[in-house]
Every structure is written in structure tokens, then in C-alpha cells.
Chains A and B, each alone.
Chain A
Amino acid sequence: MARKAVVDRRKCAYCGACVAVCPADANELVETFLEIYDDKCTGCSICVKMCPMGALAIVEVE
């Protein structure tokens, strides 16, 4: 089990705020959508606190 950030694309305003604070370089604002790279994400939840929209959450994955 590991903890990872996931984005709710319906809430995301593709603003890049989460990218500015991710210490693991695990996310990227690709033109008009947010991508989170599971292989880099440490599940630290910093981006979750940053998101102005409440579009991010941490989930447990296999």
C-alpha cells in the first residue's frame, strides 16, 4: 500500500498552484490538464493543502 495524490478533473481549474509546491516534481500542468506521476508522488499531501479548488485528495493504492 502506498499513498498517492489524485485529482478530480471535474473540480480542477488547471491553475498550476499544486505544481508550484510539489517537492517531488510529481505533477505537471500539461496545456489544459493536470497530470500526476504516480512513480514520483510520495503522497506528502502538500498539494492537497495548496489547491484553491479542493480538487486534490490522497488515496491508498496497491
Chain B
Amino acid sequence: MYDVVVVGAGPAGSMAAKTAAEQGLNVLLVEKRQEIGTPVRCAEGISRESIEKFFEVDKKWIAAEVIGAKIYAPDKTEIVMSEEMAGNEVGYVLERKIFDRHVARLAARAGAEVYVKTAMVDFERRDGKVKLKLRRLGEEWEVETKILIGADGVESKIGRKAGIIRTLKLNEVESCAQYLMTGLDIDENYTYFYLGRETAPGGYAWIFPKGNGSANVGIGVLPRMAEKTAKEYLDAFIEKEGIEGKIIEFVAGAVPVYGEIETAVADNIMLAGDAAYHADPITGGGIANALSAGYYAGKVAAEAVQKNDFSASFLRRYDELWKNDFGKRLRRNKKLQLKFIDMDDAVLNKLAGAIAGKNLREMSVAAIVKELLKAHPKLLWDLKDLF
């Protein structure tokens, strides 16, 4: 019998397995893909702070470093956010194929067992523990565990089966397409965001540099508002912007933009990362929260094993930890997202025009909204107490 079985070896799962194993627990990490980290379903951007909180940075999994971001309104008004001094990188663009494996390797090194090309196909809670059915190469078998950590991403079956989350509606998830392009002529010191209902209804398009003239060029759209597929919006964006380069990789995926869930636990079960809809509703960024949630889940698993208490009421300690860390931000950014998707292109242009040319030194959503509140308090009056 395991103390903890973690399903999914993304950032959340590997971090949970690593943390639990470091606390001396008997841990199994299960991943259905045959290669951890591929296919990539991510634009790979993360703030420097979020990564350095947990890891010693290794150039092997950093594709590029950026000093700021440029945001474009539909009429091309530009908002620049950047640190004053050169050499003060604020963000990284990761190489997740390597990064995800690195975190899984750290989990293994800490003592976790790792099974790849192994899917969890079913589970059942019985007699105070969880029985899991695993499948590899067509063969099925059962394992038992005291705690199940569901880090199975946006397609999570664990959360739904356990009744912790409900299925996402078409206005609670972004449909995404992305190309890794090479031979691009861009300033690689910045990440780029393009707003507008016509370009990306309910979402945005992005260019995240990966060094040597290559970049992730992608788009996310809200299916409820979209009139064609994400891939069609992406092709239209590339055409309209005149982005010239060669496509050397193709990515599709979904990001939850749900906001904060009430609880991420049930008896014997904790959800972490995209499985718990932990991605940010306004940026779609989910790596940082997935890492933090995985870390907290691993910690609480160790406390639960020590106290021999796997009840939902005990595991609520985990809720407390992730909510204290980023729950408020999820709540706040969900409100902002609802406001944002209601804005037509004229309003976006007006808002961008009001703060264009301002010196935005801090790279955060809050920094932009604070400036907007100064410029157009009426348009955003209902957000004023949040920022």
C-alpha cells in the first residue's frame, strides 16, 4: 500500500510527488504519456520569481529570458511593461519538454516510484483508502493508497468522479492553438500580447520568444464567443500581422479560466494544478500555481500520514494553503476576465490609449488595472475595491 499515488506528471504532479517523497512517504507517480513533457501544451512563459521560489535555475530548461511585455490593443496602441534596468529579467520562457522531465527526475531522486505509459483508468474509495486501477500496455492491475493526488490536468476525471469539480462550460475554458515558429524577426527581449474580439474573442494572441529567432506563436479563444476554430483564428492572426517564419511544431490544448473552486479535496483525495482549475483566468498561466499547489499537496499529505487522518476535513488544510497563496488572485482575476470579455474593440482601444506611454515598471495584471483605474475610473468602477 502506498501513502500517496499522484496521477499526472505535469508540474503539479511531479512537484507533489517530489515534496511527499522528500517527507519520507511511500509515493507512486503515474503518467499515461510515454514521454513526460510531450506533447507540449503550453506557451511556456513564467515569471522569474515563480520559478526561483522552487528551483535552482538551469539553462538547460530555459529557452529565453525576457525583460518585459508589450500589449497591443485592436488598433495597435502599444502598452509597454518593463523593468528599468537591463539585466533585470522578469520572465522566463521555459523548455517544458526538458523542465517537466527535470521535475519528474527530482521526484524520482527523492524516492518516488514513477510509472510512465501507465494510465489510471478507475478508482474507488473503500474502507478509508483508495483502490486504483492502472493500465499499461493493455494490462490492468490494482494498487492501494491512503491518499490520491489528482494532478491529471484540464481533462481530469478524478475531480469529476469524486464530485469535487464540475465539468467546464464553454465560457469557462480557452480553446488554444499554437505554432513553434522559427526564422522570425522579433525583439526577443519581450513577450507580446494581442487583444481584440476580432483577433481572439474572449482571449488573446501571443508571441513568446524562445531564442535564436524562434517563438511560440499562439492564440486562446473562448468557445462560447468564437465563430471558428482556434487554429483558424491563429492562421488569421499570423496572416494579419504578417508574421513570417517556418512552423516547426504544432500545439493544441485547453486552459481552464474558471476562477477559484470552493474546495479541492474530498476524503482521501486532493486535486492540484489545472485539475483544480488553478490556472489564472485572465492570463491563462498555470505553471506557477500548479507548482505551488503540488508543493502544498505534498506537504499536507505528509501531515495526514503522520496523523493517520485522510478525511476531507483534515485535507482542508491543503485548501487553506493554496487559497492563502493564490485563491484571492483567482477570484479577482475571474471578475476582471468577465469584465474584459464584455469589452468590444472600441472600449479596449480607449482604455489602451489612456495608459499608452505610461511607464509601467511592474509586470503584472494588477499594475495595468491600477493605471486603468486612474485613467478611467467609471469604466471599471466595480473593480476598484479589488486592486
Contact B231 A20 (CB under 8 A): no
Residues of B within 8 A of A62 (CB): none
Contact A54 B33 (CB under 8 A): no
From B33, B155, B170, give the contact of A31 (CB < 8 A). Answer: B33
Residues of A within 8 A of B160 (CB): 25
Contact with A along B255-269 (1 / 0, CB 8 A): 010000000000000
Using a CB–CB cutoff of 8 Å, the interface residues on chain B facing chain A are 32-34, 39, 41, 117, 119, 153-157, 160, 167-170, 173, 175-177, 223-224, 226, 229-232, 250-254, 256
From B33, B155, B231, give the contact of A52 (CB < 8 A). Answer: B231
Contact A53/B177 with A19-B155, A20-B254 known, Cβ cut-off 8 Å? yes
Q: How large is the interface on A (under 10, 10 to 19, 20 to 34, 35 or more residues)?
A: 20 to 34
Most chain B CB within 10 A, of A16, A20, A25, is at A20
Most chain A CB within 10 A, of B154, B170, B250, B252, is at B252
Chain A facing B: main interface SS: loop
Contact A54 B170 (CB under 8 A): no
Residues of B within 8 A of A46 (CB): 170
A30 contacts B by Cβ under 8 Å? yes
Contact A20 B168 (CB under 8 A): yes
Given contacts A20-B156, A31-B32, A51-B175, 13 further A-B contacts (CB under 8 A): A15-B252, A16-B254, A17-B173, A17-B253, A19-B155, A20-B155, A20-B173, A23-B167, A32-B33, A50-B223, A53-B252, A54-B231, A54-B232
Contact A21/B173 with A15-B253, A52-B231 known, Cβ cut-off 8 Å? yes
Residues of B within 8 A of A51 (CB): 175, 229
A37 contacts B by Cβ under 8 Å? no
Shortest C-beta distance, A18 to chain B (Å), equals: 8
A59 contacts B by Cβ under 8 Å? no
Contact B155 A29 (CB under 8 A): yes
Using a CB–CB cutoff of 8 Å, the interface residues on chain A facing chain B are 13-17, 19-23, 25, 28-32, 46, 49-54
Q: Kindly state the separation between the CA atoms of A16 and B175 in the bound complex, as whole angstroms.
A: 10
Nearest opposing residue in chain B for A46, CB measure: B170
Residues of B within 8 A of A29 (CB): 155
Q: Kindly state the separation between the CA atoms of A22 and B256 in the bound complex, as whole angstroms.
A: 14
Residues of A within 8 A of B252 (CB): 13, 15, 17, 52-53
Shortest C-beta distance, A48 to chain B (Å), equals: 9
Q: Kindly state the separation between the CA atoms of A16 and B255 in the bound complex, as whole angstroms.
A: 10
Shortest C-beta distance, A10 to chain B (Å), equals: 13
From A22, A25, A52, give the contact of B177 (CB < 8 A). Answer: A52
Q: Kindly state the separation between the CA atoms of A19 and B159 in the bound complex, as whole angstroms.
A: 13
Nearest opposing residue in chain A for B220, CB measure: A52
Residues of B within 8 A of A17 (CB): 154, 173, 175-176, 252-254
